Amino acid sequence: MIYDPTGVVEAKPKPLAPRPAALRGLRLGVLDNTKWNGGKLLRAIVTLLQRDDEIGEVRYYKKESFSKSADPALIARIAAENQAVLTAIGD
């Protein structure tokens, strides 16, 4: 028996969120996906942004597990409380 791993993914394209013209003074939400090095990478980026005085307040959030989608309530909270969001995968 031969297994064919190809398949079809059906997904409608979604537009990107509008990008801010500048980061200076924005409230930044940081979503840690709980991958082993993800938090470390995010903290390093935030440090660089703060060093350059680019961002205002920083709020941190964490997903339950990297293998699960973020809870829709968490996503809604992050969107409501912040003007920009940073997330990353860091293996």
pLDDT digits (tens, 9 = 90+) for 48-76: 999 987 899 999 999 988 889 899 999 99
Give a yes or no: residue 50 inside a domain: yes
State both tokens at 30. Answer: 């940081």
Q: What's residue 60's pLDDT?
A: 97
pLDDT band of residue 2 (cuts 50, 70, 90) is confident
**d(C-alpha 62, C-alpha 74), whole Å:** 9
Contacts of 26 (CB under 8 A, 6+ apart): 20, 55, 56, 82, 83, 84
Domain membership of residue 6 (yes or no) is no
Name the domain count of the chain.
1
Q: Between the ranges 11-15, 38-42, 79-83, where is the mean pLDDT highest?
A: 79-83
In a domain, 7, yes or no: no
User: Does some domain include residue 65?
Assistant: yes
* Dihedral sign for Cα atoms in the order 62, 76, 85, 12: positive
Q: Is 21 within a domain?
A: no
Q: What confidence score (pLDDT) does residue 49 get? A: 92
Is 17 part of a structural domain of the chain?
no
Residue 62 lies in a domain: yes
Q: Give a yes or no: residue 80 inside a domain.
A: yes
Domain with 60, as residue range(s), is 32-88
Element (H, E) at 49: helix 38-51
Predicted TM-score of the model (pTM):
0.79
